[in-house]
Structure 1
Amino acid sequence: MITISNLTKKFGEHISLESVSCEFNKNDSIALMGANGAGKTTLIRAILGYYHPDSGKVLVDGFCPIKERVKVLQNVSFVPQLPPPIKLNIQELMQYICMSTDIDKELIEHYSNEMKLDIKANLYKSFFKLSGGMKQKLLIAISLAKKSNIIIYDEPTANLDPKARDDFYRLLKQNEDEKVLLFVTHRVEEVQELVNRQIYMDMGKVVADERL
């Protein structure tokens, strides 16, 4: 579903990715690990089409995320480590998302409830002013409601309490079939029961790729 071939990305003189090649296929559930600066975030942003590679290529379901970004993002859910500074209230945000991506509003509400986030009590609160945990719960709910075949989580539990983490992992286990799940994480022990593959990056390269 995702093919990365000899991907290199530089920022000035700094090489963030150096000739990275790997494939993520259906039913892969991957922990992507490495120290800060290893190239994990750059790799994710290349998959999402945020970065133009200096050489090599990325294909997502056969599409180039630079040239055919709309097609690529239709089938990808992404939850960043730092929630974006959205000024809309929750009701406005949900309306925008449902109109632009054809997500069922009731599904967002369902997964929000499963994450113990009371949508109705917070409808008119600005997303920007929510607590970190509430933002993360809503973004996770949206990612699951989208029913994408590719779901990417960048440190998704950083703002969640232990109970919310348990809810998150429970929901993922119910929704992991026929998908690519990609976790960028420093805490592999948290996702060990969910992943079947561990990839370790260092200095812009894949140094280990182990199937479990």
Structure 2
Amino acid sequence: MIKVLNLTKKFASHKSLDNVNVDFNKDDYIALMGPNGAGKTTLIRTIMGYYHPTYGKVLIDGKNPIKKRTEVLSLVSFVPQLPPPIKLNLEELIKYIEVSSNVEKELIFYYANELKLDIKSNLKKSFFKLSGGMKQKMLIAISLAKKSSIIIYDEPTANLDPKARDDFYRLIKDNENGKVSIFVTHRLEEVKDIVNRQIYMDLGKIITDEKMKGLE
């Protein structure tokens, strides 16, 4: 579903990605790991069309994520490490997601409830003013409700308490069939039961790409 071919991305003289070749296929559940500056986030942002490749290309379900941006983003759910500064209140945000991404609001409420996030009591509250944990839960609930074929999480549990982390991984495990799921993480022990592939990056290259036993 995702094909990365000879991908290089430079920022001025710095080479953030160095001739990366990798495929992500249906039923791949990947832990994407590596030190800060390894190129993980650049790879994700290039896959999503936020960055233009310097050389090489990315195809999502055969589509160029820059030329076919709307079509590609309709296939993807993405939860960033740092929640965006959304000024809408939760009621407005849910309505926007409903209309723009054809997501059922009942599903957003369902997944939020599973994550112990009380949306109804906070509908008039600005997303921007929520706690870090509440923001993360809201974004995760939206990502699951969207029912995308590609899900990308960049350190999704960074702002979650241990119970919320357990809820998150339980929901992910229940929703993985037939998807590509990519977890950018520093905590392999957290995702080892739900991933079946570990990719380690450093200095803009893929150093190792190994199958794992997860999903048993």
Q: TM-score range by the shorter chain?
A: over 0.9
Match of 1:184? 184
Give the Å deviation of 1:69: 0.6
Deviations 1:92-115 (A, max 9, x none): 000011011100000000000000
Match of 1:193? 193
Match of 1:36? 36
Give the Å deviation of 1:199: 0.2
TM norm structure 1: 1.00
Matches within 5 A, 1:126-165: 126-165=126-165
Distance 2:82 2:208 in 1: 27
Distance 2:108 2:117 in 1: 11
Amino acid at match of 1:15: K
Amino acid at match of 2:112: S
Match of 1:119? 119
Amino acid at match of 1:42: T
Match of 1:11? 11
Distance 1:72 1:100 in 2: 14
Aligned length: 212
Distance 2:75 2:16 in 1: 26
Amino acid at match of 2:157: T
3-state DSSP of counterpart to 2:198: strand
Distance 1:19 1:116 in 2: 43
Q: Is 2:214 aligned against 1:211?
A: no
Match of 1:26? 26
Distance 1:92 1:48 in 2: 25
Matches within 5 A, 1:93-112: 93-112=93-112
Distance 1:96 1:61 in 2: 26
The Cα RMSD (Å) is 0.3
Match of 2:92? 92
Give the Å deviation of 1:86: 0.4
Amino acid at match of 2:178: E
Give the Å deviation of 1:187: 0.7
Distance 2:31 2:170 in 1: 17
Percent identity over the alignment?
A: 72
Give the Å deviation of 1:137: 0.2
Structure 1 residue runs of 4 or more that deviate by more than 4 Å after TM superposition: none
* Runs (5+) with no aligned partner, structure 1: none
* Runs (5+) with no aligned partner, structure 2: none
Give the Å deviation of 1:184: 0.2
Give the Å deviation of 1:37: 0.3
Give the Å deviation of 1:55: 0.5
Give the Å deviation of 1:53: 0.3
Give the Å deviation of 1:85: 0.2
Distance 1:146 1:61 in 2: 18
TM norm structure 2: 0.98
3-state DSSP of counterpart to 2:169: helix
Distance 1:69 1:133 in 2: 30
Distance 1:76 1:29 in 2: 14
Distance 2:85 2:169 in 1: 26
